[in-house]
Amino acid sequence: MDKEKLNKILNTIDEMGDSHVGSCNDTPLREDAFEMDDQLKIELIAKHFKEIMHVLGLDLSDESLKGTPLRVAKMFINEHFKGLNPKHKPHPTLFDNNFQYGEMLVERDINFYSTCEHHFVPIFGKAHVAYFSSGKVIGLSKLNRIVDYYSRRPQVQERLTIQIAEEFKDILQTEDVAVVMDAKHLCVASRGIKDDSSSTVTASYHGKFKEAQIRKEFLKYIGFGDLG
């Protein structure tokens, strides 16, 4: 392939990535995504990442570098992208709302770490979630686990926000759910424009949270009162 044609393809891919092209709210996965076991995935990723390092000109016989391909492969499968595999999905238990608490329940400042699917660099920030009980509640830590599960995969923030909201609606058996995410993107901070001071805010409001007054109350609780 000649250099001009290659550059045209690379430019097209880069433009598509920056435009946040996406087909749906589900993470794009092949039908055979989980036919291969994790150990084989680790072995193959290590092999290919070793080749990437070789192409970059790194000396893989160096004591500091020779274990890197395997470390990266394990990190991808066991940590950064473990949310791709449904076997890691939390299955929280619902409890009766014995206190008959009918007000908004908010958990704010949930730390999350994800990965930009366009450049494979980190996205990190805070998630804020709220719901009105339909007669059932779940343990607070399970809210964190659900945010973490959907974060641990290649993502765009818009999809991540929607996926978390839809999961809460399903688990909590209510439409009265809100999710706001405020995140830094290293694809913005460390490359391209190199703006490390900006953050991206996304939201998904459902049920009662579509009402202006209730949404304003939620935003005040999480310190976004000026957005209400």
Residue 6 domain flag: no
Please tell me the total count of domains within the chain.
2
Q: For residues 98-131, b (16+ Cβ closer than 10 Å) or e, as one string?
A: eeeeeebbebeebebebbbbbbeebbebbbbbbb
Do 187 and 134 sit in the same domain of this protein?
yes
Residue 43 belongs to domain spanning: 35-84
Q: Is residue 6 pLDDT above 60, yes or no? A: no
| pLDDT for the residue numbered 2 | 59
Checking if the pLDDT of 214 tops 80, the result is yes
112 three-class SS: strand
CA atoms of 117 and 185, how far apart (whole Å): 11
Q: What would the pLDDT profile of 137-156 be if each residue is shown by its tens digit?
A: 999 999 999 999 999 999 99
In the set 128, 155, 163, 185, the catalytic residue is 185
Choosing from 54, 79, 116, 166, which is the catalytic residue?
Answer: 116
Same structural domain, 113 and 211: yes
Q: DSSP letter at 208?
A: G
Contact status, residue 171 vs residue 94, Cβ threshold 8 Å: yes
Answer yes or no: do 45 and 109 share one domain. Answer: no
Tell me, yes or no, if 187 is annotated catalytic.
yes
Any domain includes 9: no
163 in active site: no
Residues 223 and 118 in one domain: yes
Give a yes or no: residue 48 inside a domain: yes
Instruction: For residues 52 and 133, state if they share a domain.
Output: no
| pTM for the full predicted model | 0.88
26 domain residue, yes or no: no
Report the alpha-carbon distance of residue 149 to residue 84 in Å, rounded. 8
Whether 155 and 134 map to the same domain: the answer is yes
> Parallel, antiparallel, or unpaired: how do β-strands 200-205 and 105-116 relate?
unpaired
Mean residue pLDDT of the chain comes to 91
In this structure, are 46 and 140 located in the same domain? no
185 has catalytic annotation: yes
Rounded Cα distance between 167 and 23, Å, is 19
119 is catalytic: yes
Q: How far apart are CA 60 and CA 51, in angstroms?
A: 10
* Domain annotation covers residue 67: yes
Of 80, 118, 163, 167, which one is the catalytic site residue?
Answer: 118
Catalytic-residue membership of 91: no
pLDDT tens-digit profile of 15-29? 555 555 555 789 999
Say if residue 58 is in the same domain as residue 118. no
Quickly state the pLDDT bin for 225 (edges 50, 70, 90): confident
Catalytic residue among 128, 157, 163, 167: 157
Candidate list 31, 173, 187, 211, residue with the active-site label: 187
| Residue-level pLDDT at 13 | 46
* Domain membership flag for residue 13: no
Nearest alpha-carbon partner for 49 in 70, 65, 18, 31: 70
